[in-house]
Structure 1
């Protein structure tokens, strides 16, 4: 992914107003992000623990999605799987992220959801650049490139639902 600026990020959102995009918390460490290893930029809002954001390139332009999620913790033995990268996490490492749909459907209150890594570090998990706190990723017969392709395909399917 190409490095992004705060202005690029704020202009990319498709499911919130320009005012909401202007007020959202953009990561301050954009220069330190591992852009070559990211398929999308994802982060949680430090001032609003139930909000997260995702920005990716799609059809030659940036697309940003504002999402909400529950912060409830599950038991230690309960494991959940991210629907994007298929990483399993214990104790709240995966959350149901819901996003308002784009356009009129979103203004009417319609939303879509997907189970995603709560820290939105799917790109790093797939590439083996970030380790899980406990446990490991399942060993797969797919190459890393095929896993990246699968992850970006799952992200594209989620974005299709936001646009629909």
Structure 2
């Protein structure tokens, strides 16, 4: 992913107001992000811990990135025995390593309270898990895949784009 500017990020959000996008806090390590290892930028808002954000790079030259704002439920009970699977990168985690992220739909549907939710890595570091740059706490849940790295990255991107499109599309489309 090519590095994005703060202005590009704030202008990218499709499911929140311009005022909300202007108030969100960027990741604390924004200046040191490993852009070359990212297929999307995801972070929990340091100023509002129950909020998170995803920004996808432009699909083609001349296009703008697409960002969505997410809500995270308050802490729920987790089990040290159970494991969970991220629906974006398919990384297995201890149950606390995956969280349900809910995104208000774009436009009138979102203003009416319609949301789309998905279980995603709680730290939104899917690209780093896929590349093996970060390891989940629950190592015993790892499984061997026959897909190579490029195929795993493509699968992750396909899953992410499908989720983002479900946020962008009108309700019932």
Q: TM-score with structure 2 length normalisation?
A: 0.90
| Contact 2:84 2:97 (8 Å CA) reproduced | yes
> Using the alignment, how far apart are the partners of 2:89 and 2:138 within structure 1?
17
- Aligned counterpart in structure 2 of residue 148 of structure 1, from 146, 149, 153: 153
Aligned to 1:68: 71
Q: Deviation string for 1:112-153 (max 9, x for gaps)?
A: 011100000000000001112231532100001000000000
The number of equivalent residue pairs is 164
2:25 touches 2:46 (CA, 8 Å); kept in 1?
Answer: yes
- Distance between the aligned counterparts of 1:4 and 1:59, measured in 2? 14
Find the aligned partners of 2:77 and 2:134 in 1 and give their Cα distance. Answer: 21
TM-score (ref. length: structure 1): 0.95
Given that 1:14 and 1:65 are in contact with CA atoms closer than 8 Å, whether structure 2 keeps it comes out as yes
Range with greater deviation from structure 2 (67-76 or 15-24): 67-76
Could you tell me which runs of 5 or more consecutive residues in structure 1 were left unpaired when the two chains were aligned.
none
Find the counterpart in structure 2 of residue 25 from structure 1: 25
Between the aligned partners of 1:58 and 1:100, the Cα distance in structure 2 is 21
SS at match of 1:86: coil
Mind listing any 5+ residue stretches in structure 2 that lack a counterpart?
Answer: none
Q: Which moved more, 1:44-53 or 1:97-106?
A: 44-53
Q: Is the 8 A contact 1:11 1:21 kept in 2?
A: yes
SS across alignment from 2:129? helix
The alpha carbon displacement at 1:73 in A equals 4.0
Q: Is the 8 A contact 1:5 1:30 kept in 2?
A: no
Q: Which residue of 1 aligns with 2:84?
A: 80
Write out per-residue CA displacement over residues 81-137 of structure 1, whole angstroms, 9 at most, x where no aligned residue: 000000011131101100000111111111101110000000000000111223153
2:28–2:46 Cα contact (<8 Å) kept: no
